[in-house]
């Protein structure tokens, strides 16, 4: 199978993903933004990473990134590096060449030609320090400056301009344009909160018929980060055209830690076990799905099946 071109990806990324009605609930299917086919690399993080490659890679021939061995940042970065004709160097910690490929995302990344740099610990600050060391090393060796994919596939709103941060979130904000009029309450995952911020940017401009947005935390609290980011883009989080319930956190309440896996389905939808899966399970237990009239659920992405990616591997 042939990899898509950069033009293919930017064209696909601009399309609106569908909303689907399943047993009374409207689902935003961001998991269907899947350039290699459904079940392959997918979702809003991939769309935002395409934006970063398009805008910031410059003339670099090398991309460097560091993340947990469980993170799709490895597979997505290596995939786009292959598409853009770049080398991908991925920093990993507390693992070895003998065990690394037990994890799907590094295995997929290797299939797209990624090479790996190993450090002793998996703490994110140590991973990012090593990324910076490698970036400087490439510069000192006379190479073009390496393109660094930031941890979490994001853009720092303190270091970057409001215009750049807004452009980063626009690629997700436009996905709110086709929200059905029937959706009055929308549930959105809050992990890194990049997708949540994009959704809120779009709905702050045009809420359609939305009355309430419920963000459910599945990782450490990022409320202050989200509010600060919205303000940078000119959105007052205290004066939104809908109610925002941000006080639900499955992680902080002890219901489930970020790394817990909870496989769940609803109708024929298979949810990511780290993200939407634990949300659906909690909502079921609360009885929140018993009367779904007016309810919408934003699916950020899906777990990746290596078998879908394998026909496109370059190594």
Q: For 287, phi and psi rounded to 5 degrees?
A: 80, 10
- 14-73 tens-digit pLDDT: 999 999 999 999 999 999 999 999 999 999 999 999 999 999 999 999 999 999 999 999
CB 149 within 8 A of CB 60: no
pTM: 0.96
Task: Tell me how far CA of residue 71 lies from CA of 145, 290, 301, in angstroms.
Answer: 25, 33, 13
Three-class SS state of 295: strand
pLDDT, residue 80, reads: 98
Three-class SS state of 42: coil
Residue 142's pLDDT band (cuts 50, 70, 90): low
Task: Tell me how far CA of residue 148 lies from CA of 22, 67, 72, 96, 205, in angstroms.
Answer: 40, 12, 16, 23, 32
Q: For 34, phi and psi rounded to 5 degrees?
A: -140, 90
CA atoms of 203 and 213, how far apart (whole Å): 9
CA atoms of 73 and 123, how far apart (whole Å): 16
Task: Break the chain into its structural domains and give their ranges.
Answer: 6-42+157-299, 46-154
End-to-end CA gap in the chain: 13
Work out the average pLDDT over 102-123. Answer: 97
Decide if pLDDT at 106 tops 80. yes
Task: Tell me how far CA of residue 220 lies from CA of 127, 217, 240, 258, in angstroms.
Answer: 19, 7, 24, 8
pLDDT, residue 31, reads: 98
- 151-183 tens-digit pLDDT: 999 999 999 999 999 999 999 999 999 999 999
CATH placement of domain 46-154: 3.40.50.1100
pLDDT, residue 170, reads: 98
Task: Tell me how far CA of residue 34 lies from CA of 40, 43, 80, 117, 308, in angstroms.
Answer: 6, 7, 13, 28, 10
Q: What tokens does 1 get?
A: 């199978």
State whether CATH 3.40.50.1100 applies to domain 6-42+157-299. Answer: yes
CA atoms of 42 and 35, how far apart (whole Å): 7
- 270-297 tens-digit pLDDT: 999 999 999 999 999 999 999 999 999 9
CA atoms of 18 and 4, how far apart (whole Å): 21
């Amino acid at each position: 199978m042939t990899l898509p071109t950069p033009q293919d990806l930017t064209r696909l990324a601009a399309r609106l993903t569908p909303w689907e009605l399943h047993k009374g609930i409207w689902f935003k299917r961001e998991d269907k933004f899947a350039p290699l086919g459904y079940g392959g690399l997918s979702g809003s993080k991939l769309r935002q990473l395409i934006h970063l490659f398009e805008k910031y890679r410059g003339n670099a021939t090398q991309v460097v990134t560091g993340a947990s061995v469980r993170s799709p940042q490895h597979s997505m970065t290596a995939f786009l590096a292959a598409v853009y004709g770049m080398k991908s160097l991925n920093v990993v910690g507390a693992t070895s060449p003998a065990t690394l490929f037990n994890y799907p995302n590094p295995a997929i990344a290797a299939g797209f030609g990624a090479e790996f740099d190993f450090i002793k610990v998996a703490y994110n600050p140590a991973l990012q320090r090593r990324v910076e060391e490698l970036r400087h090393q490439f510069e000192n060796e006379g190479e073009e400056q390496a393109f660094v994919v930031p941890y979490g596939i994001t853009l720092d709103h303190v270091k970057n301009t409001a215009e750049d941060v807004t452009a980063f979130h626009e690629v997700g904000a436009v996905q709110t344009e086709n929200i059905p009029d029937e959706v009055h309450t929308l549930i959105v995952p809050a992990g890194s909160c990049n997708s949540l911020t994009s959704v809120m940017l779009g709905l702050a401009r045009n809420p359609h018929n939305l009355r309430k947005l419920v963000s459910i935390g599945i990782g450490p609290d990022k409320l202050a980060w989200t509010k600060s980011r919205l303000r940078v883009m000119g959105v007052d989080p205290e004066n939104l055209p809908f109610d925002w319930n941000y006080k639900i956190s499955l992680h902080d309440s002890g219901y489930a830690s970020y790394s817990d896996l909870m496989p769940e389905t609803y109708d024929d939808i298979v949810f990511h076990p780290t993200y939407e899966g634990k949300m659906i399970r909690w909502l079921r237990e609360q009885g929140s799905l018993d009367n779904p009239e007016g309810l919408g659920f934003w699916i950020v992405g899906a777990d990746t099946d290596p078998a879908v990616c394998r026909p496109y591997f370059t190594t």
